[in-house]
Structure 1
Amino acid sequence: MATINTTPPDAAVIREAARWLVRLHSGEAGPEDHAAFERWRQGDPEREVAWQRAERLSQQFNAVPPALGVPLLTRQRRANRRAVLRTVAALGVTLPAAWLGYRLAATPSGSEAYRTAVGGHQDLTLADGSQVQMNTDTDVDVRFSEHTRMLQLRAGEVYVRTASDPTGTARPFIIETPQGRLRALGTRFVVRRPEGDDATTALTVLEHRVEVTLRGGGAPRIVNAGESLRFTTDAFLPARPAGPEAPGWTRGVIEASNMRLDAFLAELSRYRRGVVRCDPAVAGLRVSGVFRLEDTDAVLAIVARTLGLRVVERTRYWVTLSSAAA
């Protein structure tokens, strides 16, 4: 006899299902999105339960077409937005629902929305020839008008290489975050919304300059090549030096040079679901090397072997590096 799981999904999993619902109904989901969705859905039985719950509610609102695993979405975005929002509300997602409501309402019909899953990566070539690489768990809107070339970074990290405006009108290339507006001045740069820190944006300029205007006002600041800094809505934090090379993730690697183990694991955890941590007694051990992001389990095994540690897997999604003697 089959066993029916009556335990409600974890709130975090419900939020993930709600985000997938919005993404798949954005009108912009492509084959990579559907493949990433299927990997997410099949990765944990709890996700399947959460998705079925979302799907049933969506069908009640006539929001979900019959097949979700194929390129199924039409461009009826405005009608779908209202139905999706009703479903999100019915799922009991409160704060994320507010965010999702803003996300849908704030995405004009002339914009393109893109999202990568945890561990995912996507390369974009924009209409003007500019190139954008999206890191793990990244959410952006791209909107070009006759006056501006605009990217809104809602989450995650992007590496941008701007191109000259082919229209000949020199439209500014802008990236917006909740903390401010960044105007590219013929440049290569990286912008990141740090995980767990909704109050700051991080900028690293690799070539030429970027002008930053804070959301709270004040004089703009020019950030030059070789500088990296964070800023809030009303203040710039101290700058630090940065090299000219694109970050390792653009090549599918993590680069560590004498990095504390706890800091290294925090960075690695961006590319896999669940918790990756180490015991406090070994947190100060140092990690150096170049590690491929395509297999984070292998990275953990290599680091543990190199440092004389052991990998303790309490569950698939809770991994701890501990002293081998513990």
Structure 2
Amino acid sequence: MTQPKVDATTRDAVDWLLRLEAAGEDSSLHQAFDAWLRASPQHAEAWQRVGSLLQQPIADLHRVEAHSPGQLRAASNALMTPDLVSRRNVLRGGLALMLFGVSGAAVFDRVQPLGGVWADRHTATGERQTFELSDGTRVSLNARSSVDIRFNDQRRVVHLREGQVFVDVATDTRRPFVISTAQGEVQALGTQFMVSQESVGSLTSVQLHSVQVTTLGGSQRRVEAGQAAWFSESAVRPVPLSVTGRVDWRDGRIDIRDEPLGLLIDALRPYRRGVLRVSPQAAALHVYGVYPLDDAERTLQSLAQTFPLRIQHYGPLLTLIDVR
């Protein structure tokens, strides 16, 4: 039987995978990849297709194959061509991920979050950005975050698609400043606050003055400086100001104060291209200290030296954390 040929876009996606795997933290290469990914919807589809090959469960592989006959086998052949050691490393990493039950939805966008590719502003894994809007508001995006800017004559709206955003709001008495999420809106009643889009809700914390939270269902709550609140589509409630609500990430560090390790690992995930999987026992272990975000490996090593933790690496794509 004749083997299907690899179309040019799929081959490009495979080549990008291998180049990124070998490049580590080469920012110029990641910028070039970002430009390629945004250049065409077909590029994003090819990237997802190659990712499916390595990380998706078997049922998902069948669905991809049905949608694009022959391409999974073709991409597999390209990946297993023995002319580069990195091809074998990538394949081994993919098999390890499947062995531990890690799905493609949780893995393969670790280099570039696909959900934010078409956003007005976005950051990749391990990248932070600070920029100024047309009204003078200063915006900081944490790693793996994306926003859309929607300013008009009535309102200034920043829609947070994913991740975390911190704003230092410029005064404009005619137009309120709002950060919207999938669950509602946070309106500035002062200057400095943070909003996080989480998988099942949103979180806001206030650093200066106050904000007004309004859910999609109409529930409202005022949040003052030094406070935090979590909100769903129908409810808003105060929560303790923990590591999830602090904004030390703006300075490239995380300050954890006798809090569960799971919260620290959640903060590290946007800065690591592989998957971090932590056991329930390890996640519940209380830890403390100030750790660098930009060197996740150093942070993991420090944790293992200070606390009773065992950290196992399976190539660059998967790290398991458990108690000793």
Deviations along 1:8-59, one digit per CA (max 9) or x if unpaired, are xxxxx99x99xxxxxxxxxxxxxx9975344789xxxxx99xx99944989x
Q: Give the residue type in structure 1 aligned to 2:186.
A: L
Q: For 1:161 and 1:261, locate their aligned partners in 2 and report how far apart those are by CA, in whole Å.
A: 30
Q: For 1:57 and 1:260, locate their aligned partners in 2 and report how far apart those are by CA, in whole Å.
A: 38
Deviations along 1:210-266, one digit per CA (max 9) or x if unpaired, are 112221224x322222221111111113443579x9511011001111222333223
Q: So what's the TM-score if we normalise by structure 1?
A: 0.62
TM-aligned CA distance change 1:282 to 1:232, over 3 Å: closer
2:256 aligned partner: 256
Q: For 1:201 and 1:56, locate their aligned partners in 2 and report how far apart those are by CA, in whole Å.
A: 27
Q: Give the residue type in structure 1 aligned to 2:293.
A: L
Deviation at residue 157 of structure 1 after TM alignment:
0.4
The alignment status of 1:178 with 2:168, answered yes or no, reads no
1:119 aligned partner: 126
8 Å Cα contact 2:139/2:165 also seen in 1: yes
**Gap runs ≥5 in structure 1:** 7-12, 18-31, 42-46, 59-88, 108-112
Q: Give the residue type in structure 2 aligned to 1:206.
A: Q
- Residues 244-283 of structure 1: pairs in structure 2 closer than 5 A: 247-283=247-283
**Gap runs ≥5 in structure 2:** 7-12, 18-25, 47-66, 72-104, 106-113
Give me the CA root mean square deviation. Answer: 4.3
The alignment status of 1:212 with 2:206, answered yes or no, reads no
TM-aligned CA distance change 1:298 to 1:141, over 3 Å: same
Q: For 1:102 and 1:319, locate their aligned partners in 2 and report how far apart those are by CA, in whole Å.
A: 25
8 Å Cα contact 2:260/2:285 also seen in 1: yes
Q: For 1:242 and 1:283, locate their aligned partners in 2 and report how far apart those are by CA, in whole Å.
A: 15
Deviation at residue 279 of structure 1 after TM alignment:
4.3
Q: For 2:115 and 2:278, locate their aligned partners in 1 and report how far apart those are by CA, in whole Å.
A: 37
2:304 aligned partner: 304
8 Å Cα contact 2:146/2:163 also seen in 1: yes
TM-aligned CA distance change 1:144 to 1:56, over 3 Å: closer
Q: Give the residue type in structure 1 aligned to 2:235.
A: A
What SS does the aligned partner of 2:30 have? helix
Question: If each structure's helix is expressed as a fraction of its own residues, which one has the higher value?
Answer: 2
Deviation at residue 145 of structure 1 after TM alignment:
1.8
Deviations along 1:96-126, one digit per CA (max 9) or x if unpaired, are xxxx99996xx8xxxxx00001221000111
8 Å Cα contact 1:207/1:225 also seen in 2: yes
Q: For 1:101 and 1:267, locate their aligned partners in 2 and report how far apart those are by CA, in whole Å.
A: 19
Q: For 2:124 and 2:161, locate their aligned partners in 1 and report how far apart those are by CA, in whole Å.
A: 14
Q: So what's the TM-score if we normalise by structure 2?
A: 0.63
1:36 aligned partner: 30
TM-aligned CA distance change 1:223 to 1:251, over 3 Å: same
TM-aligned CA distance change 1:224 to 1:289, over 3 Å: same
8 Å Cα contact 1:164/1:170 also seen in 2: no
Q: Which has the higher contact order (CA 8 A, sep 6+)?
A: 2
What SS does the aligned partner of 2:189 have? strand
Q: Give the residue type in structure 1 aligned to 2:215.
A: L
The alignment status of 1:132 with 2:139, answered yes or no, reads yes
What SS does the aligned partner of 1:186 have? coil
TM-aligned CA distance change 1:266 to 1:300, over 3 Å: same
TM-aligned CA distance change 1:281 to 1:40, over 3 Å: farther
Deviation at residue 181 of structure 1 after TM alignment:
1.7
Q: For 1:102 and 1:294, locate their aligned partners in 2 and report how far apart those are by CA, in whole Å.
A: 21
8 Å Cα contact 2:205/2:241 also seen in 1: no
Deviations along 1:132-190, one digit per CA (max 9) or x if unpaired, are 1100111101122222211111111001111112xxx5211111112112210122111
2:171 aligned partner: 164
